[in-house]
Structure formats: structure tokens, C-alpha cells
Amino acid sequence: MGPVIYHSGGSIMPRLNIFAIFWKPAALQNGNPAKFPNGYTQILKNFVEDYVGHGIHNNNTQYYQTIEGVTTYVSGLLLSAGGIGSKTASYTDTEPYPAAGCTDVANPGNCITDAQIETELQRVMALKGWTGGLDKVYVIFTPVGEDSCFDAAGQECSSNFYCSYHSYIPGSPNIIYANLPYQEPSFCELPGYTSPNNNPAADTVADDLGHEVSESVTDPLIDAWYDDEGNEIGDLCETSYGTASYDGGLANQSWNGHFYELQEEFDNQTGTCVLIGP
């Protein structure tokens, strides 16, 4: 397994601010109500607020960038002074979905492409006065029944190809984001996956969120840390959960009084998957 290799000149995210966007208009494209399960958004808001400075984020601190002779590491500190620290924000976006840009047999008529997600993200950023840069990641959540695809034909979609992904919109500055569609736990988790919050759908997406944020931090522009096959630190550990030591054996992370069951991330120093950093 591994190692992941630093590719010369690649960028990491030295500091991290997480912005959560819950894209939930009144209805899906087919007219059915757009909805998240009870408790879903709060669990994910908690995660966004808890991630920096805890558990798996500490593992990111071994990863660095060297640009123009200057080496900078990921900061695992949660500081409040001097503009160095981390902040979070969340926004419920009620903008109607555009006409379906893709065809997905799992949810006919309810499908948005990656390009449509990027367009809506930029609209929300302009509305809120949010900016891009290598200190921010935007995570977009969509409700039950709204699928997304890379392609219009529906060959690579959230129902048949991926559970989540991170990417970026090139620009000055670049915009780092992750797509976190609603997923059935049976599709995106191993058999026997535990749900510490008694909310399998939210806990499944929190698990995916840990994967994507950790990879966004260590490889935001897909040019820094990955192995010879293109695997990033989350990809190498996506079936490894370690020991569930919290919440009666249901969770492997306890952050600010909140419990999560998350996949491990790759520790390049030890060549193993870990729940907490070096």
C-alpha cells in the first residue's frame, strides 16, 4: 500500500475553512418534494464545525508543499487570532434545480451534472460574498432522489459509479469543492457499518465527507500527493475503519461531544491507515 508521493510544485491547503451548502429547493425536477432525512443536516453541520484540529485532520499535518523553494505544511491547529484559524459557514440554497443535464436510470429526470453543480456553487459564492483560494473548501449536499453525473449519458453517476468526489474550478483564485450527494448506506458502506447517530444516511455521508475533505487538504488541485496509480490518502484506506472505541463501539471518532464512524486516512510515515495523525 502506498506510499503517496509529492509531485514537485503541487499545492496543499495550509489552512482550512469549510463552507457547507445544502442545495434544497422546494422540489426536484420531477416535482417531488426535495427533502433531507430528519437530523441529516445537523449531523453534517456538526462535522464541518468539528473537523479541523481533531482526529483524522491531524494526520494531514505530515503533508506539505514546496513552491519556489518554500516548504509549507498543513496546519492542524485551530486558532482564533491573527487570521490564522479556521472558520465554517453553512447555507441552505433554495434555488430551483436546472433542467436535468443528465440521464440516470435510478432517478429519471432528477439529475444534475458536475458542470451544473459548479455553476450553482459560483452563484451562491457571489450571493454570499464568498471567495475561492487554497484555504477554503466548499462542500455541496443534495437531497434524497437528486442524482449527479459526470456525463450526460449517465454512465458515471452517484447511483452507479461514485459516492462523492472532490474537484476544483480553475481560476484566480481556484475554487476547491466536493460533491456529497445523498446516498443509500447499502451502496456506499461496507456490510455491518455502524451508525453512531442512529442516522445511517447522514453518517454515511459524514464518512464520505471525511474522505473528500482530507483529500482536498492534501491534494486540492490534483497535483500534489498521490501514488503511482493516482490514489490519494483517502482512496488507499476507504475500506479500513480501525477500532470503534467510542459510543459503545459505534464510533471511532469523538469530536466536541459528537460521534462519527469514519474511514481511516493514509499515514505516509508509517505506510498504514490511521484514525489520528503522526
What is the per-residue pLDDT across 68-94, written as a single tens digit (0 to 9) for each?
999 999 987 654 444 445 678 999 999
Measure CA 165 to chain center. 7
Reference 92, options 147, 141, 32, 28; nearest CA is 141
Q: What is the pLDDT of residue 149?
A: 97
Q: What is the pLDDT of residue 77?
A: 63
Mean pLDDT of 234-243: 97
Structural domain count, the chain? 1
Mean pLDDT of 96-103: 96
Mean pLDDT of 244-253: 97
Residue 5 lies in a domain: no
Alpha-carbon distance 208 to 211, whole Å? 5
Reference 148, options 111, 117, 119, 120; nearest CA is 111
Residue 2 lies in a domain: no
Q: What is the pLDDT of residue 90?
A: 97
Residue 147 lies in a domain: yes
DSSP string, 52-90: TTSHHHHHGGG-EEEETTEEEEPP-----STT-S--EEE
How does residue 267 score in pLDDT terms, banded at 50, 70 and 90?
A: very high
Residue 154 lies in a domain: yes
How does residue 184 score in pLDDT terms, banded at 50, 70 and 90?
A: confident
In Å, how far are 3, 62, 150, 174 from 9, measured between CA atoms? 18, 17, 28, 16
Amino acid of residue 128: K
Residue 27 lies in a domain: yes
Mean pLDDT of all residues in the chain?
Answer: 94
What pLDDT, in 10s, does the model give residues 108-144? Answer: 999 999 999 999 999 999 999 999 999 999 999 999 9
Alpha-carbon distance 13 to 166, whole Å? 14
Residue 231 lies in a domain: yes
Mean pLDDT of 202-206: 97
Alpha-carbon distance 119 to 260, whole Å? 31
Residue 4 lies in a domain: no
Q: Domain residues for 124? A: 10-274
Residue 145 lies in a domain: yes
Tell me the whole-structure pTM to 2 decimals: 0.95
